[in-house]
């Protein structure tokens, strides 16, 4: 039995974004209970040369929408990066989830062999759909979600592996 491109991308990323939204809620509650201004946690970093929490969420949601658009042959939407509050971050995640929910399984039929061209800085990289998913999309997506999780955990938010993985059923 093979796993579909839809399941590898839309299914997996939707679940991870739902889990991340719940983690963000725990960060929001933590900040509220301690009277921490949203920007303090949203701009928190693991190390000075790393991007802050809010950027990790932006990149993860951009990766999800980019994968859905490129693999299905749709126009890639552009969203402003203007989140400054936890509510803004929840809205961004919901926007990504709503976007992913618009796609149907059949839109991805045959996309594992599709040629994907991606600009990474000054470089243009060529992938097959499957190489794009396994070598770029999923590693990049989970890297940024794990980093967002780690920033919150590092700052004292009581979250654990089960929060990141979500319900296993």
What is the average pLDDT value for the chain, to the nearest integer?
96
* Residue 8 confidence class, pLDDT cut points 50, 70, 90: very high
pLDDT value at 1 more than 80: no
Name the superfamily (CATH) of residues 5-106+115-165: dinb family like domain (1.20.120.450)
pLDDT value at 104 more than 90: yes
Which residue, among 74, 66, 72, has the nearest Cα to 111 in the 3D structure? 72
pTM of this prediction exceeds 0.85: yes
Give the mean pLDDT of 95-117.
96
pLDDT value at 169 more than 90: no
Which residue, among 95, 64, 68, has the nearest Cα to 79 in the 3D structure? 95
* Residue 168 confidence class, pLDDT cut points 50, 70, 90: low
Cα first-last separation, the chain: 20
Longest distance between any two alpha carbons in the chain, whole Å? 51
Reported as a single tens digit per residue, the pLDDT across 35-82 is: 999 999 999 999 999 999 999 999 999 999 999 999 999 999 999 999
Question: CA separation (Å) from 34 to 29, 62, 101?
Answer: 9, 31, 35
pLDDT of residue 107: 96
Reported as a single tens digit per residue, the pLDDT across 125-158 is: 999 999 999 999 999 999 999 999 999 999 999 9
């Amino acid at each position: 039995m093979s796993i579909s491109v839809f399941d590898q991308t839309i299914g997996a990323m939707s679940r991870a974004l739902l889990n991340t939204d719940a983690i963000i809620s725990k960060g929001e509650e933590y900040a509220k209970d301690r009277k921490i201004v949203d920007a303090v946690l949203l701009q928190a970093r693991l190390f000075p040369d790393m991007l802050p929490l809010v950027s990790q969420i932006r990149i993860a949601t951009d990766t999800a929408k980019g994968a859905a658009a490129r693999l299905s042959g749709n126009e890639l939407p552009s969203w402003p990066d203007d989140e400054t509050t936890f509510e803004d971050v929840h809205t961004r995640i919901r926007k990504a989830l709503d976007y992913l929910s618009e796609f149907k399984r059949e839109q991805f039929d045959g996309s594992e062999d599709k040629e994907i061209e991606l600009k990474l800085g000054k470089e243009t990289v060529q992938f097959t759909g499957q190489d794009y998913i396994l070598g770029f999309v999923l590693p990049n997506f989970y890297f940024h979600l794990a980093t967002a999780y780690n920033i919150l955990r590092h700052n004292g938010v009581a979250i654990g592996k089960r929060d990141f993985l979500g319900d296993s059923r």
